[in-house]
Amino acid sequence: MLLCFGWSGSRLFEAFPSWARDPGIEESIRTIRNRYAEVDRDLERCQQIKRDLVGYSAEGGELTTHVLNSSVRKMVAQLYSERGQSTEEYYFWDDRLFFVFRIESRYDKRLSGRVVERAEECFYFSEGALIRWLAGMKEIPAASSEAKQRGRELLDRATEFSNLAKGAQSGG
């Protein structure tokens, strides 16, 4: 399902020779992959909190938050528009965002629900900073101004969604 990780060593990164990769970043990516798998394994033990998302897209949306021992582990935002929908999955470790998987689906015509185009993006975070952004098979340099801005946007949105879920959890 998740192309960002590939199989056994990730065929996605064949385009990047091993000598061109930063060993520190690659170690962080391995840690992120392990944590991603652990979060998904623990989902059945999590409490689920559902909340409507108003004002984030033209046709509304829904946020599903998975909480384990009072800690947000994963949030899934489904956002709808006339021309398509997006799914954003936010993964947390010790209440810190470490990974976002985003799928954008486009419909063949308004409100048809028939998907004709699908794009995937993966965002890897370490210590509150974006360290890798994959847009399909293309890597966007993490040091670029575009990546820095996108990383800030995702961190801000994760905080907003987390606060929204915590408000629902406390009855707010």
98-121 residue pLDDT tens? 999 999 888 887 767 777 888 899
**For residue 128, is pLDDT > 60?**
yes
Give the CA distances from residue 88 to residues 9, 24, 31, 171, in Å, rounded to whole numbers and listed in that order. Answer: 24, 27, 21, 24
Average per-residue pLDDT for the chain: 83
**For residue 16, is pLDDT > 50?**
no
Least confident range of 12-21, 27-36, 77-86: 12-21
Q: What angle do CA 113, 117, 119 make, to 5 degrees?
A: 115
pLDDT: which is higher, 171 or 15: 171
Give the pLDDT confidence score for residue 44 in this predicted structure: 95
Cβ atoms of 131 and 141 closer than 8 Å: no
26-63 residue pLDDT tens? 899 999 999 999 999 999 999 999 998 887 766 779 99
Cβ atoms of 125 and 97 closer than 8 Å: yes
> How does DSSP assign 56-81, residue by residue?
SSTT-EEEEEEEETTEEEEEEEEEEE
The SS3 of residue 140 is strand
Give the CA distances from residue 5 to residues 82, 85, 127, 170, in Å, rounded to whole numbers and listed in that order. Answer: 31, 23, 20, 35
